[in-house]
A and B are shown apart, each in its own frame.
Chain A
Amino acid sequence: MGSNVVFYAMYNDDDVLKDGAKKLVAKGVKVADVFSPFPIHGLDPIIGLKETRLGIMAFLYGLTGLALALIGMRYIMITDWPMNIGGKPNFSFLENFLAFVPITFELTVLFAAHAMAITYFLANKTIPGMPAENPDPRTTDDHFVMELRLSDNSKFSEKELEEMLMETGIVELDQKHIQ
């Protein structure tokens, strides 16, 4: 058993792929992945991708930056070494807070942006030196590849899947047997 068949169906148009995916999904086929040279809008719900939670993460990172800035400003400017600037109150964080708004804002943005970018790279597994996984070099140019796995679609036979793919306007079909 153990062996699995992967279909790489290649399209030369994003809308054809999207329509094809819609038809296949309607028949109960599970699309494993899609490789495309640019984001295909409206594809994610069709192939059952959940919305990414990166936005929520960015918000949390921003909160971290904000908290760090507030704690830092309070410690540095109020507790540890209050500075006497023209005799202005230097013992109260609240009264001094206005002067700390710019730094607080910058640190919030700094943390949210960079931590989000790092999360993005890790989640995508895009790190310098990683090997590319697109099945065909043309998928970063003008071709679109839909990946189907036999193991995900156990109710269909290899032949059935193949025939269903043939009806979706593909330009090339590649089959790989993987162990």
Chain B
Amino acid sequence: MHKEATIREPLVLGHKTYHQVTEDVCKPIEGKAPRTWYILFSIAAIIGVYGIGCILYLLGTGIGAWGLNKTINWAWDITNFVWWVGIGHAGTLISAVLLLFRQKWRMAINRSAEAMTIFAVFMAGLFPLIHMGRIWVAYWVMPLPNQFGSLWPNFNSPLLWDVFAISTYLSVSLVFWYIGLIPDFATIRDRAKKPVAKKIYSMLSFGWSGRAKQWSRFEMVSLVLAGLATPLVFSVHSIVSFDFATSIIPGWHTTIFPPYFVAGAVFSGFAMVQTLMLVMRKAYKLEAYIHTKHIEYMNIVIMATGSIVGTAYITELFISWYSGVEYESYAFINRATGPYWWAYATMMTCNVLSPQLMWFKKLRTSLTFTFIIAIVVNIGMWFERFVIIATTLHRDYLPSSWSMFYPTHIDIGIFVGTIGLFFVFFLLFTRYFPVLALNEVKTILKSSGQSYKDGTAKTPAFSIEEQHLADVKMKSSATAKAKTKSTPVQDTPAIDPKLVALVGMLGVVETDHKDDLTELTGLDSAIETKLNEIGIYTFAQIARIDAASDLGLLTVYISAAASQADLLAWKIEAEEKLKNDNN
């Protein structure tokens, strides 16, 4: 079993049992959605529908509806594409890279972070598709035999690599996410009371039964998929950066791009995770699972990747001067001091300065501060892509064709629309899906749960020996308590005092309330008389027998007539009977 040093902060706060973990995660799905959910969903849906409207208008009219011109032929579209792909990276990093590094804190956030990844990559994929203009021939990017004498797509082009990288990334993330979801869907299925919900969750859970062999395969698949997803996530943003780095445009043509883009992607992705998690943990009352320590860990990642990004910015500046290439240095001088200086300044402040504040423990453990920084970083990273794309293009080799970029309302509508759509998806996810990886959190409960770490948790016990010890203790203390109370019912004094105490614990009943105990299978009248002698008259008393501690004593008393298993069976049957009577 996974062991953890006691000085490490617990990952699950308070005392949680396995059942409570299930309850905490499943309750919001099973209950009615709060009013705020409907309000947020409506807002997101309206914005999303507006975005779809803008996309349809663009498809009907043509790319001219964007503010592009012949100098700036890539602007918000590709900025948004790179921004969304970047955001997607955090989910895979959390669920795959941190899995390989055995970072247990990822378990509280991986499910929702990965959902975020998938929805963000949906949004990202939209931009190249609509940028094609004629979206109905989008399948031409695939190497399919065609009527042009089988003219293949150009496999030397980074844009085609992008097609393969993004689609592989999306589909692999989806599969990885879904495989993890199946056991949790099974939990919801087994709890579901409404027939429709039960039917839907049975379909979604693929008939998962939780057999030992299934779990063994599950762990292997998770590990191998994590191993595959780790280089995949690095390759995806490297390839996105090749879209720029393999060109010969000054300001794009730099070898530092792949690592710098990957670090930037993780940076922006974690900022988005923070933004979502801070709200979600409050709304779904998951503060015990996603607490300050988790937020702090993520802030440290933001700080580290933010520093890499900052170093990359400065390296770029240095190299542009050191290379001695005039065009290269002008591209950077123009970024910082040209007409788009404000975009550059925003990028520098948001991405280089703001994460450095996370060095202060007080700041990185403050939730409000984290939320603000997360938003700031999201904005900063959007500007980074805008600076790289639009301000590099706006002054090309020919000064007569220099121009500026002004977004049209379609540009803005589509960008804002994708944010709306993203939240539509994410809100639906939090409403119908288990937002916490139930099965994973349960595996760390004993090693990282607060009450288990400080030793205050009693049940479930750690080992069978300990449980028996606890039972013995419980029994003796129960006996002592009952003795001092001196139960007055017993009319046959020859009975073992322990038994008297036991029956006292089961509850004292008058003889005239007695049930016909022989209704229980295999309980004959001889045993009934014996039970009556010590004061057990009703099903309720039998149902109250404690399987762990009382069974032995009673078996000794009844002796040859019945075994422990019989008693246990009667107890369960009595419980059933009582349940049925109550209904």
Contact A40–B215 (Cβ < 8 Å): yes
List chain B residues, Cβ under 8 A from A125.
Answer: 207
Nearest Cβ distance between residue B22 and chain A, in whole angstroms?
Answer: 5
List chain B residues, Cβ under 8 A from A102.
Answer: 158, 161, 164-165, 235, 239, 242
Q: What is the chain B residue whose CB lies nearest that of A73?
A: B155
A55 to B19, CA, bound (A): 32
Pick the contact of B228 from A77, A113, A141, A168 — CB < 8 Å?
A113
Nearest Cβ distance between residue B233 and chain A, in whole angstroms?
Answer: 10
Q: B460 on the interface (CB 8 Å rule)?
A: yes
Enumerate A32-78 residues with CB–CB distance to B below 8 Å: 33-44, 47, 49, 51-52, 54-55, 58, 62, 72-73, 76-77
A7 to B343, CA, bound (A): 70
Q: A37-B18, A58-B224 are in contact. Are A134 and B209 (CB under 8 A)?
A: yes
Q: What is the chain B residue whose CB lies nearest that of A174?
A: B572
List chain B residues, Cβ under 8 A from A132.
Answer: 186, 189-190, 202, 205, 207-209
Nearest Cβ distance between residue A59 and chain B, in whole angstroms?
Answer: 9
Q: A13-B460, A134-B209, A139-B210 are in contact. Are A38 and B440 (CB under 8 A)?
A: yes
Q: B461 on the interface (CB 8 Å rule)?
A: yes
A38 to B184, CA, bound (A): 10
Contact B216–A49 (Cβ < 8 Å): yes
Q: B337 on the interface (CB 8 Å rule)?
A: no
Q: A16-B460, A34-B212, A169-B548 are in contact. Are A76 and B155 (CB under 8 A)?
A: yes
Contact B187–A49 (Cβ < 8 Å): no
A49 to B220, CA, bound (A): 14
Contact B207–A131 (Cβ < 8 Å): yes
List chain B residues, Cβ under 8 A from A14.
Answer: 460
Contact B156–A129 (Cβ < 8 Å): no
A123 to B216, CA, bound (A): 12
Contact A109–B460 (Cβ < 8 Å): no
Contact B460–A77 (Cβ < 8 Å): no
Q: B206 on the interface (CB 8 Å rule)?
A: yes
Pick the contact of A106 from B165, B205, B212, B439 — CB < 8 Å?
B165
Contact A37–B460 (Cβ < 8 Å): no
Q: Mark B420-458, 1 if CB is under 8 A from A, else 0.
A: 000000000000000000111011001000000000000
Contact B156–A85 (Cβ < 8 Å): yes
Q: B582 on the interface (CB 8 Å rule)?
A: no
List chain B residues, Cβ under 8 A from A42.
Answer: 1
Q: Chain B at the A interface: mostly helix, strand, loop or mixed?
A: helix
A127 to B178, CA, bound (A): 12
Enumerate A133-150 residues with CB–CB distance to B below 8 Å: 133-134, 137-142
Q: A37-B439, A120-B217 are in contact. Are A114 and B171 (CB under 8 A)?
A: yes
Q: A102-B165, A109-B231 are in contact. Are A52 and B212 (CB under 8 A)?
A: no
Contact B191–A141 (Cβ < 8 Å): yes
> Looking at the complex, which of B81-89, B265-273, B562-570 is the stretch in contact with chain A?
B562-570
A125 to B149, CA, bound (A): 44
Q: Mark B557-580, 1 if CB is under 8 A from A, else 0.
A: 000000111001100100000000
A121 to B186, CA, bound (A): 15
Contact B171–A110 (Cβ < 8 Å): yes
Contact B187–A163 (Cβ < 8 Å): no
List chain A residues, Cβ under 8 A from B22.
Answer: 37, 141-142
Q: What is the chain A residue whose CB lies nearest that of B19?
A: A142
A171 to B235, CA, bound (A): 51
Nearest Cβ distance between residue A43 and chain B, in whole angstroms?
Answer: 6
Q: B211 on the interface (CB 8 Å rule)?
A: yes
A139 to B239, CA, bound (A): 45
Contact B154–A83 (Cβ < 8 Å): yes
A117 to B150, CA, bound (A): 32
List chain A residues, Cβ under 8 A from B223.
Answer: 55
List chain B residues, Cβ under 8 A from A116.
Answer: 221, 224-225
Q: A29 on the interface (CB 8 Å rule)?
A: no
Q: A130 on the interface (CB 8 Å rule)?
A: yes
Q: A128 on the interface (CB 8 Å rule)?
A: yes
Q: A12 on the interface (CB 8 Å rule)?
A: yes
Q: B412 on the interface (CB 8 Å rule)?
A: no
> Looking at the complex, which of B127-135, B462-470, B536-544 is the stretch in contact with chain A?
B462-470
Nearest Cβ distance between residue A15 and chain B, in whole angstroms?
Answer: 5
A99 to B159, CA, bound (A): 12
Contact A13–B461 (Cβ < 8 Å): yes
List chain B residues, Cβ under 8 A from A99.
Answer: 155-156
Most interface-central of A13, A125, A140 (chain B CB within 10 A): A140
Nearest Cβ distance between residue B47 and chain A, in whole angstroms?
Answer: 33
Contact A37–B232 (Cβ < 8 Å): no
Contact A169–B564 (Cβ < 8 Å): no
A125 to B203, CA, bound (A): 13
Contact A126–B206 (Cβ < 8 Å): yes
Pick the contact of A133 from B154, B209, B218, B219 — CB < 8 Å?
B209
Q: What is the chain A residue whose CB lies nearest that of B176?
A: A113
Q: What is the chain A residue whose CB lies nearest that of B21?
A: A142
Contact A123–B207 (Cβ < 8 Å): no
Contact B212–A33 (Cβ < 8 Å): yes
Q: A25 on the interface (CB 8 Å rule)?
A: no
A16 to B160, CA, bound (A): 55
Q: B168 on the interface (CB 8 Å rule)?
A: yes
Q: A27 on the interface (CB 8 Å rule)?
A: no
Name A's B-contacting residues (CB within 8 A): 12-16, 19-20, 33-44, 47, 49, 51-52, 54-55, 58, 62, 72-73, 76-77, 80-81, 83, 85, 96, 99-100, 102-103, 105-107, 109-110, 112-114, 116-117, 120-121, 123-134, 137-142, 159, 162-163, 166, 168-173
Starting from the known contacts A52-B217, A134-B210, A137-B190, 6 additional A-B residue pairs (CB-CB under 8 Å) come to: A36-B210, A36-B212, A39-B443, A81-B149, A141-B22, A173-B565
What are some 7 contacts across the A-B interface (CB < 8 A)? Answer: A12-B460, A20-B464, A40-B215, A58-B228, A132-B202, A132-B208, A169-B548
Top 4 closest A-B pairs, CB basis?
A130-B207, A13-B460, A142-B18, A137-B190
